A and B are shown apart, each in its own frame.
Chain A
Amino acid sequence: MNLLEKLNKFTEGASREIARRSSRRGFIGMLGTALAGSAMLPLLPVARASSSGGGSDVPAQTTGIPGDPGDPSSCDYWRYCGIDGFLCSCCGGTANACPPGTEMSPVTWVGTCRNPADGLNYVISYNDCCGKSSCGRCLCNRNDDDRPVYRPSANNDINWCVGTSNNIYNCSTAVLIGLGSQ
């Protein structure tokens, strides 16, 4: 009897409830709860839950630019809709500048994020900052419009410390390039 036959036998007559549903917010909340109770990995949407205020203990910031709302040290900041990495705002830099002593990568991936203040879509360039080891603060991963590696300009898994004098990754920025398609 091969595995498939064994499995069919096992599942014969069995019915399982497979459609236990909950909202996305409920799911993130569940992860957040788990995070608080253990040495949780700061990963994936978990990272969003962990770095969006409360437990992250990072002082709130603003860009100071009229019409640019939100906290750049929070994963929920509108420009971070496609980011994956440590927020430079928490690492000595800002949302659009690298920390001291690092080097900004000239090539990177881009995303299109909607600014809640004016409702317009903007092209955001997620330039990595390079030359020092992982900042380790405010890890944030959001994957709106993220595409597989074979579409590299829209992929946030790649270490974009390319074309720099050193390819060690430190943190990621979110530089506003201009208006995108509306």
Chain B
Amino acid sequence: MSLRRVVFFQFWQSAIIGGRAETACFALIALSIFSLAASYSQAELKPEPIPNVVSLATPYPAGYAIVHDLAFGSLIDSSFSLVDINTRRFKGMISAGQFSTIDFSVGRQKYYVGETVHSRGSRGQRQDVIAIYDFADLKLVGEVDLPPKRMNMVVNESSTAITADDRFMLVFNMNPGTSITVIDLDEEAIVSEIQTPGCYMLYPGLKSSFFMMCGNGSLVSIGLDEKGQETERWSSAVFNDIDRDPLSEKAAFIQGVWYMVTYAGEVQPIDASAQRPVIGKRWWLTSEAERAANWRPAGWHGKSGHEDGLLWVAMTENGYEGSHKDPATHVWVYDLQESRRILDIELKIPALSIATTKGKQPKLLVVNIEGSLDVYEGIKGTYLQSIHQLGETPFMVHAID
């Protein structure tokens, strides 16, 4: 029965049962008006196409971000959610295997997802791969098979990198011997493997080089030629006291300088703007009084930077030996030119990880301990809004700009 007939029937029945002529007349008039209006305003719905899949407009507008779900409770099924932090819209997702990584090239309009899968799901032959997806359709457009030894660890963005010239992708391997796989992004093919005994993770500079942190407290810098082959290797003196107060391997890259921070809160700039890195002068995030009161860096990945010389660091006021991965209750903002704090943001919900957007009105993005993404004004600290339901255990967020 159509909606119009139902309405008519209910009015008419009411009129008859009630025995009131006025009501019956009113029902007839109402039905006439209703029918007349409907015939003019409601065109018949048209059949819709099948299949029908959304494509994303590219280039993306400002404000897109990727949230990385580790899926701790089902590690073989991680994912990446693409969201618009301005509209709070969920734009799509990329599915991945265990201990995945993500890099992206805005110039190439592609994502490069590192993953480990097995031929029969949770068993069978191990297969490591860089799966390539395009920005517009989040669709697989290529694969680079890796030797089955890519680093498998809880989300860490220094496991992989794309060089500053957007030419090569670098993949850190550990089995437990260490090496770097170099992929030519033009050819989407491996061009070299560089052995790196005793050294770990990847920190690309502005030139065709990168450095790694070594287990003896030094770093090693490796230069690449235009074919992705090693051209130079240089080791620094020991500068990192790993036993006493080590530098966290989770760092922020700002204006050619990597900003590393010790567990206790001492900042170590490493200038990577030239072929060889330069280890800079240290400074403290905290005053002596704040250190005495147990303020320390915290969060899973708690550093982010901005091209105007700003550093955001996630902090906790409940620091102790072993608190370096605790949720962060605050984010402190630093002027790098003067090495001083200029803003304290008390978070609505404690943070696991943070990121910031570029531009003149940067946003602070916070993956909180409830698994949602909170958005704050980056240079005011004002809470703006949240996006929920972003996977089982979201660990990390990356701004795409």
Q: Residues of A with Cβ closer than 8 Å to B? A: 2-4, 6-8, 10-11, 16, 18-24, 26-27, 31, 34, 38-46, 84, 107, 131-134, 136, 139, 141-152, 157-159, 161-162, 166-169
Please tell me if the beta carbons of B344 and A150 are within 8 angstroms of each other in the complex.
no
Bound-state CA distance A3–B342 (Å) is 12
- When distances are taken between beta carbons in the complex, the residues of chain A under 8 Å from B343 are 7, 10-11
Question: B349-401: which residues lie under 8 A (CB-CB) from chain A?
Answer: 349-350, 352, 360, 362, 369-371, 379-380, 393-394
Please give the distance in Å from B68's CB to the nearest CB on chain A: 13
Chain B: minimal CB distance from A145 (Å): 7
Interface segment out of the listed B10-18, B148-156, B227-235: B148-156
Quick one: which of A8, A11, A158 contacts B152, CB cutoff 8 A? A158
Q: Which of B85-93, B273-281, B317-325 contacts A (4 or more CB under 8 A)?
A: B317-325
- Answer yes or no: B80 CB below 8 A from chain A CBs: no
Q: Nearest Cβ in chain A — how far from B348, in angstroms?
A: 12
Q: In the complex, are the beta carbons of B293 and A19 less than 8 A apart?
A: yes
Q: Among A131, A133, A134, A141, which residue has its beta carbon within 8 angstroms of that of B325?
A: A141
CA distance A168 to B327 in the complex (A): 27
Choose from A3, A31, A40, A152 the contact partner of B200 (Cβ within 8 Å).
Answer: A152
* B337 / chain A contacts, CB cutoff of 8 Å: 4
Q: A166 touching B126 by the CB < 8 A rule?
A: yes
Beyond A31-B369, A133-B76, whether A161 also contacts B152 by CB under 8 A is: yes
Whether the Cβ atoms of A19 and B154 lie closer than 8 Å is no
Query: Shortest CB–CB separation between residue A16 and chain B, in angstroms?
Result: 5
Beta-carbon contact of B342 and A24 below 8 Å: no
Q: Does B310 contact A (CB under 8 A)?
A: yes
B214 within 8 A of A: yes
- Is there contact, CB below 8 Å, between B317 and A21? yes
Q: What are 25 inter-chain pairs, A to B, with CB distance below 8 A?
A: A4-B308, A4-B337, A4-B342, A6-B379, A7-B379, A8-B342, A19-B295, A20-B346, A27-B318, A43-B393, A44-B325, A45-B326, A45-B327, A84-B154, A133-B76, A146-B325, A149-B249, A150-B200, A151-B242, A152-B200, A152-B215, A158-B151, A158-B174, A161-B152, A166-B118
- Interchain CA distance A161-B321 in the complex, whole Å: 27
Chain B residues with CB under 8 Å of A150's CB are 199-201, 212-215, 242, 249
**Complex Cα–Cα for A146 and B323 (A):** 10
Q: How far is the CB of A130 from chain B (nearest CB, A)?
A: 11
Give chain B residues whose Cβ lies under 8 Å from the Cβ of A39.
370-371
B72→A139 contact, CB < 8 A: yes
Q: A150-B200, A157-B154 are in contact. Are A143 and B370 (CB under 8 A)?
A: no
Chain A residues whose C-beta falls within 8 Å of the C-beta of B316 in the assembled complex: 27
B47 neighbours in A (Cβ, 8 Å): none
| B354–chain A nearest beta-carbon distance, Å | 15
| A148 contacts B360, C-beta separation under 8 Å | no
Contact code string B167-201 (vs A, CB < 8 Å = 1, else 0):
00000001110000000000000000000000111
CB-CB under 8 A from A43, the residues of chain B are 72, 300, 327, 352, 369, 393
A4-B309, A16-B344 known; A24 vs B249 contact (CB < 8 Å): no
B122 contacts A by Cβ under 8 Å = yes
A144 to B263, CA, bound (A): 12
Main secondary structure of the interface of B (DSSP, over half): loop
Q: Does the CB pair B318–A132 fall under 8 Å?
A: no
B214 contact set on A, CB distance < 8 A: 150
**Residues of chain A with a CB closer than 8 A to B349's CB:** 34
Q: Which residues of A contact B290 (CB under 8 A)?
A: 19
Footprint of A on B, CB under 8 Å? 72-76, 98-99, 116, 118, 122-123, 126, 151-154, 156, 174-176, 199-201, 212-215, 242, 246-249, 290, 293-295, 300, 306, 308-310, 316-318, 320-327, 329-330, 333, 335, 337, 342-344, 346, 349-350, 352, 360, 362, 369-371, 379-380, 393-394
Nearest-Cβ distance from residue B278 to partner chain A, whole angstroms: 19
Residues of B close to A131: CB separation below 8 A: 122-123
Distance of A3 Cα from B393 Cα, bound (Å)? 33
Q: Who on chain A is nearest to B98 by CB?
A: A168
CA distance A88 to B50 in the complex (A): 48
6 A-B pairs with the lowest CB-CB distances in the bound complex, closest first: A159-B152, A150-B200, A150-B213, A3-B308, A143-B322, A148-B249
How far is the CB of B177 from the nearest CB of chain A, in Å? 10
B122 adjacent to A168 (CB under 8 Å): yes
In this complex, the member of B200, B294, B309, B310 whose beta carbon has the largest number of chain A beta carbons within 10 angstroms is B200
Shortest B161–chain A CB gap in Å is 14
Find out whether the CB atom of B153 lies under 8 angstroms from the CB atom of A132: no
